[in-house]
Amino acid sequence: MNSPIYLDYAATTPVAPEVVQAMLPYLTLYGLFANPASIQHSPGIAVENVIRQARSNMAQLLNCSSDDVIFTSGATEANNLAIKGIVLAHPVGKHIITSTIEHKSVLDTCKFLEAQGYIVTYVRPDNQGRLRLETILEAITEQTILVSIMHVNNETGMIQDIAQIAQALKDKPIYFHVDAAQSAGKLSINLSELPVDLLSLSAHKFYGPKGVGCLFIRNRKRQRLIPLFHGGGQEFGLRPGTLPVHQIIGMVTAFELAHTRLTEDYLHSQQLRELLNKQLTILGEVKLNGDASAALPNIVNLSFSGVSADALIIALRDQVALSSGSACNSGAIEASHVLRSMNIEGDRLYEAIRLSFGRYTRIIDIQLAATILCDTVRQLRHLALE
Ligand code: PMP
């Protein structure tokens, strides 16, 4: 049996072959496998230099200081460190603003803080999944210490205007954190022009390995942040633990590659989305959840009237790999909190599937997947009528 056509790039991407090659020299006996904290010997010093260079390359691509980049295990950890790290270090402000469409790693962190006595305002998007600046500004109180808003939504691809929010918050005594897990490597992020205070990203969303990411902390040396872990002094004491050198090299290489291919990858996704939409509209009764004009082209969220997402995903399982929302939620038959917040109700909520694609998705993959999808939707609609 052929493996299914993979249309779940928003859950994770395959690692680019160039990235795998770049990681290999940091693993084995004749490579640079030493611990970068072992600076008593030359192999350790050599690896410490490799990490310094990697941090500097990452910072250069983000246009920030390399002192402000902390390596983490991914965006979940970076989001936790940003949010808990800031608010627990500032016991005065007890109010946080975030949105109802954030990833669970932000929402559950906020819930944890609510249990500790913090007050959280969850702002809602409009019906297309767009957050309005006014709603965020209206939620601000004298107690507000942090605003956390995602750049691109993982279920709909909707892009938030983080530059506008950052500008509006710039002169207020409020930290602004951005979860850029879905945008990093796909949209250019220039931190010298974008006045955010904290930004999280994750390598496995841009063709790097799983289990590595980073947190940008503006003027890190002057910020107070409580670490999540305690141990050695790695990552300036903010993220102790032996650094996964090969993972970090993988992330930096993948990020470099994503930057050289930024336009090419974007246009490719745009072409695939157009093709997909063209083939699927023939079906009729297909509703787009979100607004294509304000979304990344690699994520398409659709509801097929009369066909439950669960039935469709099961029917397609061996042919097309897709998701009914965020991978962290799948398994549980629970309607998407993102779509619910967009006032999507009734059957449409349970009919929503997410198709996401990327660099290695070929035109033929989309054509074939769309044909299979159309056939399966027709069959399921027909069965429902019997
Ligand atoms: N935020 C968003 C928007 C995401 O899509 C994801 C991954 N699903 C995460 C955070 C968590 O990232 P990681 O898998 O690196 O922990």
Which residue out of 64, 110, 214, 328 is catalytically annotated?
328
182 lines ligand 1 (CB under 6 A): yes
**Helix boundaries (H) for the chain:** 17-23, 42-62, 75-89, 104-115, 133-139, 162-169, 245-260, 262-281, 309-316, 337-341, 346-350, 363-385
> Which of 260, 287, 315 is the last residue in one of the domains?
260
Q: Which band of pLDDT confidence, cut at 50, 70 and 90, is reported for residue 347?
A: very high
- Asked if residue 1 has pLDDT above 70, the reply is no
Range of the domain at 316: 5-13+262-385
CA of 41 to the centre of ligand 1 (A): 37
Atom of ligand 1 nearest to the CA of 202: 15
Q: Please state whether the predicted TM-score (pTM) of the whole model is above 0.85.
A: yes
Do 212 and 239 lie in one domain? The reply is yes
Residue 282 corresponds to which tokens in the numbers above? 């023939």
SS3 label, residue 8:
strand
pLDDT digits (tens, 9 = 90+) for 130-146: 999 999 999 999 999 99
If asked whether residues 184 and 296 sit together in one domain, one would say no
Residue type, 30: Y
Are residues 333 and 381 located together in one domain of the fold?
yes
Q: What is the pLDDT of residues 266-282, one digit of tens each?
A: 999 999 999 999 999 89
Report whether residue 154 contacts ligand 1, using a CB cutoff of 6 Å.
yes
Q: Is 245 exposed, middle or buried (0-12, 13-18, 19+ CB in 10 A)?
A: buried
Distance CA(50)–CA(98), nearest Å, equals 37
What pLDDT band is residue 333 in, cutting at 50, 70 and 90?
A: low
Closest CA to 96 of 128, 48, 139: 139
Residue of the nearest CA to atom 16 in ligand 1?
Answer: 76
Same domain for 205 and 84:
yes
110 is catalytic: no
> Which residue's alpha carbon is at the smallest distance from atom 8 of ligand 1?
11
Q: How would DSSP label each residue in 16-34?
A: PHHHHHHHGGGTSTTSS-S
- Residue-wise pLDDT tens digits, 99-125: 999 999 999 999 999 999 999 999 999
Domain boundary among 193, 227, 260: 260
Amino acid at 197: D
Q: What is the atom index within ligand 1 of the atom nearest the CA of 73?
A: 15
Give the H or E element holding residue 215.
strand 213-217
Three-state SS letters, 296-362: CCCEEEEEECCCCHHHHHHHHCCCEECECCCCCCCCCCCCCHHHHHCCCCHHHHHCEEEEECCCCCC
Final residue of a structural domain among 231, 260, 289:
260
Distance from the CA of 90 to the center of ligand 1, in angstroms?
Answer: 26
Pair 249, 105 in one domain: yes
pLDDT at 2 (0 to 100): 79
Number of domains in the chain: 2
Do 297 and 266 touch, CB atoms closer than 8 A? yes
